[in-house]
Structure 1
Amino acid sequence: MTTPPGTVETRELVLPVRANHHGTLFAGQGLQLMAQAAFLAARGLVQREVVMAGVTGVDFLAPVPVGSQLTLRGWVSRVGRSSMTVCVTGLADQPGVPPEEVLKGVFEMVAVDAAGRPVAIACSYRNQETLP
């Protein structure tokens, strides 16, 4: 099966260095991992540099214990003139436990030139839905 352009999947091990005092993934670390997945999905689609313009929503649905494998999946759901909407979900997986959706968020990314100014995205990607 071919992955649609603008889709990325990463896996991370939740180590104690990423945990809070409860032994679960610290929310700031989870947000950072989600932002990285959004960046990789957007840059992969447009094949140029991108920056984050905003986060329209992030939900932490369940705690992610240390030792869990966190699978983050990001995909571009909307392409505009220079901006994109990227959806990210996170699934936690532990041996003997079914995977559970634990994170989700929506990120607005903008294609930029070398000076950091917004630049038009190629017409072939605009207004296309690249839902998973």
Structure 2
Amino acid sequence: MTSPSGTVELRELVLPALANHHGTLFAGQALQLLAKAAFLAARSLVHREIVMAGVSGLDFLAPVPVGHQLLLRAWVSRVGRSSMTVCVTALADAPGLPLEKVIQGFFEMVAVDPSGRPVSIDCSDIQTETSP
């Protein structure tokens, strides 16, 4: 099943290499995973090169122990002239437990040309889902 353009779902397993000294997902590693999901969601919408311009409202709601899966859901919530806002949530998934929202954040992504300069997002480049 394919996701609509501008959305992405990824799964990551929290291994010891991603953990801090408490045995839970290290915040820096979490930020890297959320940034990857934001990048993929933005690029899937505009089909251009994308860079991150900023992160806002990053909230760590609960620790994620080693051995849990992290389900990352990202979607483009706003498209401007050359920038987009991408919302990302991370849910912890462990056998026998309900999904729990553990991290959420908002990423500002910018469409760029080959030299890294911002470029306008052409609305005709945006793929929208059509109903069958």
TM-score, normalisation: structure 2: 0.92
Match of 2:85 in 1: 85
How many residues of Structure 1 are paired with residues of Structure 2 in the alignment? 127
Kept in 1, the 8 Å contact 2:87–2:105? The answer is: yes
Q: For 1:77-132, what per-residue CA distance to the aligned partner results, in whole angstroms no more than 9, with x for missing partners?
A: 00001000000000001111111000100000000000000001012478x9xxxx
Aligned-pair Cα RMSD in Å: 1.5
- Give 4+ residue runs of structure 1 displaced > 4 Å after superposition: none
Task: Quote how far apart the aligned CAs of 1:3 are.
Answer: 2.7
Structure 1: segments with no counterpart, 5+ residues = none
Structure 2: segments with no counterpart, 5+ residues = none
Kept in 2, the 8 Å contact 1:64–1:102? The answer is: yes
Match of 1:113 in 2: 113
Task: Quote how far apart the aligned CAs of 1:57 are.
Answer: 1.4
| Mapped partners of 1:87, 1:125: distance in 2 | 21
Question: Map of 1:7-18 to 2, 5 A cutoff?
Answer: 7-18=7-18
Q: For 1:32-91, what per-residue CA distance to the aligned partner results, in whole angstroms no more than 9, with x for missing partners?
A: 100000000001110010000001110000000000000001000000010000000000
Question: Map of 1:27-66 to 2, 5 A cutoff?
Answer: 27-66=27-66
Q: Does 1:76 align with 2:76?
A: yes
